[in-house]
A and B are shown apart, each in its own frame.
Chain A
Amino acid sequence: MTLVMVVDDDQDLSEMLGIVLTGAGIDVDLVSRGDEALEVFRNNPPDLVLLDVMLPGLDGVEVCKLIRAESMVPIIMLSARGDSHDVVRGLEAGADDYMVKPFKHPSELVARIRTRLRRTNTDISGLLTIGDLAIDVAAHQVLRAGKQIALTRLEFDLLVALAKEPGRVFSRDALLSEVWGYRHSTDTRLVNVHVQRLRAKIEHDAERPEIVVTVRGVGYKAGVMGRS
């Protein structure tokens, strides 16, 4: 069974989240303090982390960094403040997605969690190439000259989405729907921040990207090495 670790200091909300997630067939591990999160995470590694930004003990963004430093587990930040500062901080700390309280509907939360947990692109077998990278989709590995590059599941999905259709220019909205499972969100910050993070890991020079190329005014596409 799937296990989700919920880190939130509001007891009532945690309990409610527990009720909703349990109802959807997901096991829940509740943590109420930021400084306890990492220990619980190590003792009982979850499949996904729901992490509030404002936490007693240790800030949610810091917790996110600590978890990301040792695991590629999907992390969804919960923010009570809609302002972008919190959100971007969380995303830059390695969160895959974020939700602003209050969520529209319990099913929205469950849907987001399921999107992050689903095994994507199971239909693709063999190797994809993008730039000088080889992607083994089935093994969930990205290789450059035989050496593996560690990517989070989301970064991997993002790269695969681009590599699957090398000629296509993806708008940010298209990527949001493809990778994050949003039907239509206008929050392009998610895409921007993750493209930056991905580039930092796979590009030779993140300032002059050759693998994930920006198409000005439209979005991104897979770059063709040597032609740029």
Chain B
Amino acid sequence: MNTIFSKFRGSLALKVIVSTIVLSLAVIFAAGSALNSQLTTGIKKVNLQSSIIEARSTIFNAQYRLLLAQGQRDSEVRKVVNDVIASATSLSTNENAREVIFLKSPGNSIKLNYETTSNLVDPDSIPKYLSDKVQKGDDISISYVTIKYIGGSNIPGLAIGDKVSIPNAGQYEMYMLFSLVNQNTTLTLIQNYLLLTGLFLVLLIGLITWLVVRQVVRPVRQASRIATQFTAGDFSERMNVRSQDEIATLGNAFNEMAESLEKQIARLENLSRVQQRFVSDVSHELRTPLTTLRLASEVINSSRQEFDPIVARSAELMVAQLDRFERLLQDLLEISRFDAEVAVLEATEFDLVALVQRCAEDLLLVAKERSTELRVYSIVESVVVQADIRRVERILRNIFSNAIDHAEEKPIAITIVAGESDVAVGVRDFGVGLDASTLIQVFDRFWRGDPSRSRTHGSTGLGLSIALEDARLHNGELEAWGRPGKGAHFVLTLPKDSMATISSRLIKLQPDDYHE
């Protein structure tokens, strides 16, 4: 039932056809009924009139002949009655049957009995009300009755009766019964034809509607199918346009739109390809001279003891700035890969706890320089994740370095929590913190928390934006919390399997140690 309903809602053609059929059914039914009732009334009227004329003359004739038999003997009168019956009735009991019944009026108490019926007709065929009507009326009385034969068969009929008097026997009622089998057969035939014609018309209308609707719906269906292909990225197909009607206009408009879309997308794709190519070329072109520069600067730097102090310091600065330049180049390339959506995730299985510990150890010296330390707290000894270890390491280094930069000589707490399908790493520092306005900018490119604050070890200002992109590439999330003077809390949540999505937040962003 549900599927029929949904099919109905889903198909314009079906909807139109069904409504057309329902409406035309109603119209045809109304017209058919009217026609049927007109025909029935007409036929019955004609039949009735001829029956009345016949009955009237027959009954009159019978009365006349009985009057002539006045004074005759009983057997003679009986013969007249039989003659009347014989001349008025037919022998068959079917379509054209005409029967006669003589009944003694209820008030008649004379002993002689001329009650008789033709052809085994049951006198019960005359209902009481008709008999009453005949006795009271001055003229003939008419009623539709069922003609019953002794032996079982019943046929519909018309009974017309009047009073007659039989000599020496008092008042009798004489009825003529006309079979209506013929008339009813005709009427049934007409009804059947009407019904058949109606059904045929409905079917025809349904078929015509279907043909018409198909002409409209087919292009619409084609358009929607092609639009679906567009969504899937296939821009090759077009609508067939053969005529010059409104549908063709739709088709042409659709095709023009497709053409324009295809061009735009091709242009954008090309632009993106050119951009990507450019970035790749810049990368290659810059890296080779940078390699030469670095090697040269290191060679110079390694013999700086032999230089005078100014040249020696210059060599040192050159090396340091080349470092910074290289990092900047790498970060820019990484960002452009994210922008071009060509960053690829190379997932391997590794132990996240071990990685966190190693990153913390690597930053030991940097932390010491800043008089702070990284303390790792993990509720699990190890947790194996399926992720891109290079990217996860980069996220961790970025948020750890960021914490060291802002820790204000207070120790930094790193917590690791593993859940059913996710893992989370929280980095809590108790340093300068962040206010609400900087909190929303913290992942922006080249954003600088405090312009007067220098960046440690030449961070590029792209670290946190790259970390966020890295986290999202894993279907994970990197979030920041902070209050001025109360420190900051960065929480990285990753799915254990990079193909999955995170379903929980294992570490609350607002740290438990903080109360508003």
CB within 8 Å of B: which residues of A? 10, 12-13, 16-17, 19-20, 23, 54, 80-84, 101-107, 109, 172, 184, 186-189, 192, 216-217
A80 to B348, CA, bound (A): 24
B50 at interface by CB-CB < 8 Å = no
Q: Is there an interface contact between B390 and A186, defined as CB atoms closer than 8 Å?
A: yes
Is the Cβ of A106 less than 8 Å from the Cβ of B295?
A: yes
Which residues of chain A are within 8 angstroms of B326 by Cβ–Cβ distance?
102
CB contacts (< 8 Å) of A104 on chain B: these are 294
* Chain A hits for B298, CB < 8 A: 105-107
**Residue in contact with B295 in the complex, picked from A16, A80, A186, CB distance below 8 Å:** A16
> Which residues of B does A touch, CB under 8 Å?
280, 283-284, 287-296, 298-299, 326, 330, 333, 344, 346, 348-351, 358, 362, 384, 389-390, 393
Most buried by A among B295, B348, B350, B389: B295
Complex Cα spacing A128 to B293, Å: 46
The DSSP consensus for interface residues of chain A is: loop
Q: B393, A103: Cβ atoms under 8 Å?
A: no
Q: Which residues on A sit within 8 Å (CB–CB) of B289?
A: 10, 12-13
Given known A-B contacts A102-B326, A186-B389, A23 and B299 have beta carbons under 8 A apart: yes
Contact A106–B299 (Cβ < 8 Å): yes
Cβ-defined contact, A216 with B349, below 8 A: yes
B291's partner among A19, A103, A216 (CB-CB below 8 A) is A103
User: Which residues of B lie under 8 Å from residue A81 when comparing CB positions?
Assistant: 280, 283-284, 287
Cα–Cα, bound, A51→B263 (Å): 42
Contact A217 B291 (CB under 8 A): no
Would you give the shortest CB distance from A81 to chain B, in whole angstroms? 6
Complex: A134 Cα to B350 Cα, angstroms:
32
In the complex, number of A-B residue pairs with CB atoms less than 8 Å apart = 73
Residue in chain A with minimal CB distance to B295? A16
Closest residue on chain B to residue A13 by CB atoms: B292
| CB-based contact A80/B288 at 8 Å | yes
Distance between Cα atoms of A105 and B300 in the complex (Å): 12
Chain A neighbourhood of B393, CB < 8 A: 186
| Contact across chains for B344 and A101 when beta carbons are under 8 A apart | no
The 7 nearest A-B residue pairs measured at CB? A102-B291, A80-B284, A101-B291, A101-B287, A102-B290, A80-B287, A217-B384
- In the complex, which residues of chain B have a beta carbon less than 8 angstroms from the beta carbon of A103? 291, 294-295
Bound CA–CA A119/B305 (angstroms): 35
Least Cβ distance of A4 to chain B in Å?
15
Question: Does B294 lie within 8 Å of A102, measured CB to CB?
Answer: yes
A-B contact pairs, 23 of them (CB 8 A): A10-B288, A16-B291, A16-B296, A17-B295, A23-B299, A80-B287, A81-B280, A81-B284, A81-B287, A82-B283, A82-B333, A84-B344, A102-B287, A102-B290, A102-B291, A103-B291, A105-B294, A106-B298, A172-B348, A184-B362, A186-B389, A188-B389, A217-B349
Residues of B within 8 A of A13 (CB): 288-289, 291-292, 295
Asked if A188 contacts B299 (CB within 8 A), the reply is no
Partner of B290, one of A23, A84, A101: A101
A12-B292 CB under 8 A given contacts A84-B344, A217-B384: yes
Give every chain A residue within 8 A of B362 (Cβ-Cβ). Answer: 184
The closest CB in chain A to the CB of B293 belongs to A102
- Cβ contact within 8 Å between B284 and A54: yes
Residues in chain B near residue A82, CB distance under 8 A: 283, 330, 333
Residue of A nearest to B284 (CB): A80
Q: Are B295 and A189 in contact (CB under 8 A)?
A: no
B348 touches A188 (CB 8 A): yes
Q: With A82-B333, A101-B287, A102-B290 in contact, do A20 and B295 touch (Cβ < 8 Å)? A: yes
B101 CB to nearest A CB, Å: 106
